[in-house]
Structures are given as structure tokens and as C-alpha cells.
Amino acid sequence: MAPSEPRDALPDGVRLRRLRDADIAQALSLSQEAGWNQVAADWRIFLDLGEAYGLTVDGERLIATAAILPHGDRLGWISMVLVSAAQRRRGLARFLLRHSIAALAARRLVPVLDATPVGRAVYLGLGFADCWSMRRLVLRQPLAVGIQAEGSVPEADGVTVRPLDAADWPAAIAYDRAVFGADRGALLRRLAERLPQGALVAERRGRITGLLLGRDGRVMSQLGPLVAEDDAVAQALLRRALAAVRAPLAVDVADRHVRFSEWLGRLAFTAERPLTRMVHGGSGFGDPARLFAIAGPELG
């Protein structure tokens, strides 16, 4: 828990505590009730690499959650803010948000999150400011055979796309750190294990020029993060992944990459919910021009 409690008071009978392995099943039920895509391995990321909090009643019954995920020594993600349907409109989500902000502040980490339009209005009132916008693009049906064939994957101006190898990790993590703005190497390694057929690097003359990872999900796979020097490299990475990862799948693409989004549209991806990256205090970070797709709103 954070060293100082948030200003909000909890309703009588509701208690705050850290989540542990035995809580994963209940936490997963909450995310499933909300229609979210997480599986147990996602909740384990927060328990192993960050912290997850729960509000309970009747001793151990979990009614709300939130999680923080530190990235290096600068940033910390806030996510998995969930409240069971029967317990909403009691201030529980706001309590957990304030608690998460305080927990990150105690570590001297800047709180960051990816907000839905409804959540954005709440976060603005808690000191967050808009950074940039994105949209989830979803492929529901398999691509045509010509797109799926590995031979159809283009090479971009001398760039080679190949599976991520163990020897690539130091350079891959450094490349991602320069783009993302913080070290999230532990998370990247977890993602490579989750969807190995989507773990790819692009390189030109022995230097990494792009990286793609992904993960399995409850209702669809997610491809991301996708970091690349330009549109051609990003397309080459994603087309290689599309030859190996079956639909349905999602990619959360930054709105600034218009040509990339239009290309996905021609491949039958359809736009769904918008998201806004928000930073507590409003300071920017990283190199957004090379960040084509995020790892997911819960991961950054």
C-alpha cells in the first residue's frame, strides 16, 4: 500500500488490500464481467512486476480492483480499474485511482494511463492531461490467402524481418526504451513468451529498426507494442505477424500514423473504441513518432 491513504473514505464494510495469487480467479471474473480481454497471465504480470489492489467485502469477496505497473525509474502505468456492476457509483473507482497515484508518487514515478472517453473526464479531474490519441483496430475474420502467405511479406528498403532471438534482447530493449521513454524490458520478455509467433524484429545492416510483440487474450490476440523507424518497417513487421497469428486480433494504433491506419483498413481491420494517453501533470515522454501501436491500454 502507499504510505499515505487517499483523501476519499471507503464505505462501511469495504476494505483495501494488496492482491495475491489466490485472488486471480476473482479478479479475472471482474474483468470478464466488464467484457475485457485479459487472461490470468495478464493479472499475473501485475502481481509479479507491479502491484494490484483490491476492495473487498464480507471478508474476502472482491468487488473492485486497480493495478500499477512501473516502467523503469520514471513512469508507472495505472490500469485494471474495475468495479463490479452491483457496487458502482459508490466512489470505489475514484478511491482506487487516488490510491494508485499515491503509490506511484511514493516511488517517484510519473503516473500514466490510457483512457476511454468516459474515463478521460474522470482523469482530467484527478490531474491528468492529454498526451496523444489512438484507436483500437480489430480484424474479425482471417485475411485472404495472398496476404497470409509468408512470401507476400515485403522487405522495406533493405530491411529484414525475422523472429526475435534471445541474442536480440539487449538491443531490442534499448530500441524500445528510446521510443517508449522508459525501460520495460521485463514486460517485453513476458510478451515474447505469450505470443512467440508474433515476436519479431526488423533490422537493416545488423541494426534493429523495428520491434513487434503481442499476447494471447480471452476473446482475441493483441499485437503490440509495435515500434518502427517508419511506415514501411511497421507494415513489414505486421504483415509477417499476420501470416502467423490467427484472427480475431486487435492493434491499438496511434492516430498520428494515418497512412498505417489506412493500410490496416484496406486489410479489413475496423476501427472500434478510441483511447487517449494521459500523463499526470501533463509532461510528455518518449518518441511517439516511432510508436505505431501500444502493448495495450493496461500495459502501456
CATH architecture, range 15-108:
3-Layer(aba) Sandwich (3.40)
* Interval 14-33 mean pLDDT: 96
pLDDT band at 293 (very low <50, low <70, confident <90, very high): very high
Per-residue model confidence (pLDDT) at position 62 = 97
Q: What are the contacts of 3-11 at 24+ separation with CB within 8 A?
A: 3/102, 3/106, 4/102, 4/106, 5/99, 5/102, 6/95, 6/98, 6/99, 6/101, 6/102, 7/98, 8/91, 8/94, 8/95, 8/98, 10/55, 10/92, 10/95, 11/90, 11/91, 11/92
pLDDT value at 59 more than 90: no
DSSP SS3 for 41: helix
List pLDDT tens digits, range 136-173. 999 999 886 555 434 344 456 789 999 999 999 999 99
Q: What letter represents residue 126's amino acid?
A: L
Secondary-structure percent of the chain, ordered helix, strand, coil, rounded to 5 = 35, 30, 30
Per-residue model confidence (pLDDT) at position 158 = 86
> 7 versus 245: which is more confidently predicted?
245
Per-residue model confidence (pLDDT) at position 156 = 65
pLDDT value at 1 more than 80: no
pLDDT value at 285 more than 50: yes
Q: Which three cell numbers mark 47?
A: 502481481
* CATH 3.40.630.90 corresponds to the domain 135-293: yes
Q: Are 298 and 77 spatial neighbours (Cβ–Cβ below 8 Å)?
A: yes
pTM to 2 decimal places: 0.91
List pLDDT tens digits, range 96-116. 999 999 999 999 999 999 999
Q: What residues does CATH 3.40.630.30 cover in the chain? A: 15-108
Q: What whole-number distance in Å separates Cα of residue 280 and Cα of residue 100?
A: 12
Q: What whole-number distance in Å separates Cα of residue 72 and Cα of residue 48?
A: 15
Per-residue model confidence (pLDDT) at position 260 = 97
* Interval 224-239 mean pLDDT: 97
pLDDT value at 240 more than 60: yes
List pLDDT tens digits, range 67-79. 999 999 999 999 9
- Residues above pLDDT 90, as percent of the chain: 84
pLDDT value at 3 more than 50: no
List pLDDT tens digits, range 258-275. 999 999 999 999 999 999
Per-residue model confidence (pLDDT) at position 47 = 98
Q: What residues does CATH 3.40.630.90 cover in the chain? A: 135-293
Chain mean pLDDT for the chain: 92
- Residues above pLDDT 70, as percent of the chain: 93
Q: Are 135 and 253 spatial neighbours (Cβ–Cβ below 8 Å)?
A: yes
List pLDDT tens digits, range 127-138. 999 999 999 999
